[in-house]
């Protein structure tokens, strides 16, 4: 007797409820599902790992930081409400998943996308754009909405029975909640959460980096900590808010200019440059740093240099609150 082939699919897996349901549904229908999380500097995999484990899967994590950053400089379909290029981002993830198919002997790709659920990336025309841009349009299945979407190769070939797919659409979540209850899924991330590109404050800082042509991995990592100030077209200053910030900034500061006040413990400041800037700019940076050290009265010594060597010394006074606001990003 001929054995029926067990088809295998990659599931784009963010750790949100829809991605959990899509993976679980396909597994229940007899497919071998490999959930994949595409890591970028803006979205960490920890929660997705927990979500995958919660429904009995081991998550595959693939880093796409370099390609994602390149796309972010000029996404074909632009940005959502903040700095989230969701259409291009989904397309990039499907593209990478598609490229990995031969290596994992995968037959097609799925995601938890739901028609009409997100204003930017899940309108029917947006789902179509994602498919086209990914280069793998004919291999995509969106199990939660596939009954409402054009048939793709897995359906035409009979690998996937369209009747077993769902027809969920819109922003309501009642059907998804019901499915979660049925499968005992009790913990999941809120829709849209987890990505820094949807955060208003982070997006503002990122926009500044792009405006001044400074978008690279090190600069993006620095955006995650401290208070950010633009001192000139080429130079930014980042001042730690607390000890944890200071530690994280130090860890990223290799080769960059750092200012600190070892005699008067307080915040650390990192400049996003590896060249000691002119004195006027250094004075401004020192004044900003001192503004956030409440042990300072009058003029004090500030150490500076290329981290970890901060042996140079200058003397400075704290800037006023108004002056500080002028530079804040």
Binding stretches for ligand SF4 (CB under 6 A):
43, 84-86, 89-90, 195, 197-198
Nearest residue (CB) to ligand SF4, 89 versus 209: 89
- In whole angstroms, the minimum distance from the beta carbon of 67 to ligand SF4 comes to 12
Nearest residue (CB) to ligand SF4, 110 versus 296: 110
Nearest residue (CB) to ligand SF4, 15 versus 277: 15
Nearest residue (CB) to ligand SF4, 196 versus 281: 196
Nearest residue (CB) to ligand SF4, 117 versus 198: 198
- In whole angstroms, the minimum distance from the beta carbon of 36 to ligand SF4 comes to 13
- In whole angstroms, the minimum distance from the beta carbon of 105 to ligand SF4 comes to 27
Written in H, E and C, the secondary structure of the chain is CCCCCCCEEEEECCCEHHHHHHHHHHHHCCCEEEEEEEEECCECCHHHHHHHHHCCCCCEEEECHHHHHHHHCCCCCCCCCCCCCHHHHHHHHHHHHHHHHHHHCCCEEECCCCECCCCCCCCHHHHHHHHHHHCCHHHEECCCCHHHCCCCHHHHCCCCCHHHCCCCECCCCHHHHHHHHHCCCCCCECCCCCCHHHCHHHHHHHHHHHHCCCCCHHHHHHCCCCEEEECCCCCEEEECCCHHHHHHHHHHCCCCEEEECCCCCCCCEEECCCCCCCHHHHHHHHHHHHHCCCCCCCCEEEEEEECCCCCEEEEECCCCHHHHHHHEC
- In whole angstroms, the minimum distance from the beta carbon of 273 to ligand SF4 comes to 29
- In whole angstroms, the minimum distance from the beta carbon of 129 to ligand SF4 comes to 13
């Amino acid at each position: 007797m001929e054995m029926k082939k067990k088809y295998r699919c990659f599931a784009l897996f963010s750790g949100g409820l829809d991605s959990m349901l899509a993976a679980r549904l396909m597994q229940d229908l007899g497919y071998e599902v490999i959930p994949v999380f595409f890591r970028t500097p803006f979205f960490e995999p920890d929660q997705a790992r927990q979500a995958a484990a919660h429904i009995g899967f081991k998550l595959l994590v693939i880093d796409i930081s370099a390609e994602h950053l390149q796309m972010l400089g000029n996404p074909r379909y632009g940005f959502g409400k903040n700095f989230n290029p969701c259409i291009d981002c989904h397309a990039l993830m499907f593209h990478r998943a598609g490229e990995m198919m031969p290596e994992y002997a995968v037959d097609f790709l799925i995601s938890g996308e739901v028609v009409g659920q997100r204003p930017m990336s899940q309108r029917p025309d947006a789902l179509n754009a994602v498919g086209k841009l990914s280069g793998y349009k004919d291999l995509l299945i969106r199990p939660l909405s596939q009954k409402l979407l054009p048939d793709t190769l897995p359906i035409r070939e009979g690998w996937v029975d369209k009747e077993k797919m769902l027809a969920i659409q819109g922003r309501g979540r009642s059907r998804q909640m019901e499915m979660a209850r049925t499968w005992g899924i009790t913990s999941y991330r809120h829709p849209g959460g987890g990505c820094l590109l949807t955060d208003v404050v982070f997006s503002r800082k990122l926009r500044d980096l792009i405006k001044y042509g400074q978008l690279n991995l090190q600069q993006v990592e620095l955006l995650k900590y401290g208070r950010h100030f633009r001192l000139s077209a080429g130079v930014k200053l980042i001042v730690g808010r607390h000890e944890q910030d200071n530690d994280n900034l130090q860890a990223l500061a290799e080769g960059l200019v750092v200012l600190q006040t070892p005699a008067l413990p307080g915040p650390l400041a990192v400049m996003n440059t590896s060249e000691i800037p002119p004195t006027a700019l250094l004075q401004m940076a020192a004044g900003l740093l001192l503004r956030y050290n409440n042990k300072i009265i009058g003029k004090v010594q500030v150490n500076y240099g290329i981290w970890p060597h901060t042996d140079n010394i200058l003397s400075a006074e704290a800037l006023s609150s108004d002056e500080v606001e002028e530079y804040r990003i």
